[in-house]
A and B are shown apart, each in its own frame.
Chain A
């Protein structure tokens, strides 16, 4: 009997996009359940009562929550093509960099995006330092995963479309191709990959959404 896979997600969540891309890479059929985060469905609250967030993957009715946990689960159940390396140390490094992305790169990018003036200038330093680590990781490789998109590429996948959107809104280069040639090249290669490109949310809607978010955050600053 074929597995029943459902993905609860929103149209724009970068965390959910990780799972969308992973399922596509694995060649898996699934049903999409689009959520409205302002009016969470009974299903979302039932399947993720703790965090009440997307994405949630339902596999034969059993929920898996948290995007990186979902990626590992998909990789555990559906072996080909592999997302994580087989070697224990390489696997540990992949987990490390994915966590670094969520704990450091994403928040530092967000701080630059949601600030202005002197606050923004001060926020650029930490982001630059974080990006240097990523640049180093891409030496000699097409993708973080080597020659094919893997777990770490999916973890950083949000940069594939969001960086250029944020740069457009704040009129500031976040990933300068001169300072970060490998990372810039990765962003282009990743975002142009046919498997990845097919699922980018509409750019104009994303610009509108993130513009509104920036305005909202700037109003909060005392």
Chain B
């Protein structure tokens, strides 16, 4: 989903009988995001661009029939998201967020100003993407009761670790990034929609406030 901006034409595009997305047509944007509205990794790029107040054109991809544009700009992985900035392309969601943080000096900082805090943010982002979040998809697709129980347990264990990380990174403030949304908020926050869907599918509150009260807030 892209966010509406005052003063720009916003049109509603009916994608299929049950879904819709709002497409923002920027007047002369040299920033494009190739993605799918529902993909959390794509949402990361969009969140970062919004934080930096960067207008962009969103180009919806059909992952079952990949466009020439996608294959041209991500020949290695052939996956979304891809950020196109002028004649340059950037792939892989965490790398895209860091690129946006580096390339645009509008808006608040996305990465912490302290080098050690940046290292911690990158460490936890890698943990979320390599270890924790992949369990959510496996859980959602699993039909085996015992496997689901085991996966939920692992997710809770990870959640407790992320709660500790949050307490350390936020330093008593509302976000991982302190008083504003930062890198880790984007990385974990983009996963929340799919997390909520998975909660409904399996009937378990994964973002359990008794286990992770600060994160649940």
Contact = CB atoms under 8 A, between A and B. Distances in A.
B119 A64 contact: yes
Contacts of A89: 85, 88, 90, 99, 103
Interface in A37-87: 50, 59, 62, 64-66, 69-70, 72-73, 76-77
A69 B126 contact: yes
Given A89-B88, A92-B95, A72 B102 contact: no
B76 A76 contact: no
Contact of B98 (A66, A92, A133): A92
Interface string A127-143: 00000010000000000
A53 B122 CA distance: 17
Nearest to B116: A62
A209 interface: no
B90 A73 contact: no
Given A88-B99, A89-B103, A133-B76, A66 B126 contact: yes
B3 interface: no
A66 B123 contact: yes
A111 interface: no
Contacts of B90: 89, 92-93, 96
B124 to A, nearest CB: 9
A91 interface: yes
A11 interface: no
B115 A50 contact: no
Residue among B92, B96, B123, B126 with the highest chain A CB neighbour number at 10 A:
B123
Contacts of B98: 91-92, 95
Given A64-B116, A100-B76, A88 B92 contact: no
Interface residues of A, number: 22
B95 A95 contact: yes
Given A62-B116, A65-B123, A69-B119, A92 B161 contact: no
Given A69-B123, A88-B102, A89-B88, A96 B95 contact: yes
Nearest to A93: B90
A95 B96 CA distance: 10
Interface in B86-108: 88, 90-92, 95-96, 98-99, 102-103
Given A50-B161, A65-B123, A89-B88, A99 B99 contact: no
B196 interface: no
Residue among A64, A96, A99, A133 with the highest chain B CB neighbour number at 10 A:
A96
B20 interface: no
Given A50-B161, A76-B115, A69 B95 contact: no
Residue among B95, B116, B119 with the highest chain A CB neighbour number at 10 A:
B119
B32 to A, nearest CB: 15
A64 B120 CA distance: 7
B118 interface: yes
Which A-B residue pairs are the 9 nearest by beta carbons? A88-B102, A76-B115, A88-B103, A73-B119, A92-B99, A69-B122, A92-B90, A89-B88, A95-B95
21 contacts: A50-B127, A64-B116, A65-B123, A66-B123, A66-B126, A70-B119, A72-B118, A72-B119, A76-B118, A77-B115, A88-B99, A88-B102, A89-B99, A91-B99, A91-B102, A92-B90, A92-B98, A93-B90, A96-B95, A100-B76, A133-B76
Interface of A: 50, 59, 62, 64-66, 69-70, 72-73, 76-77, 88-89, 91-93, 95-96, 99-100, 133
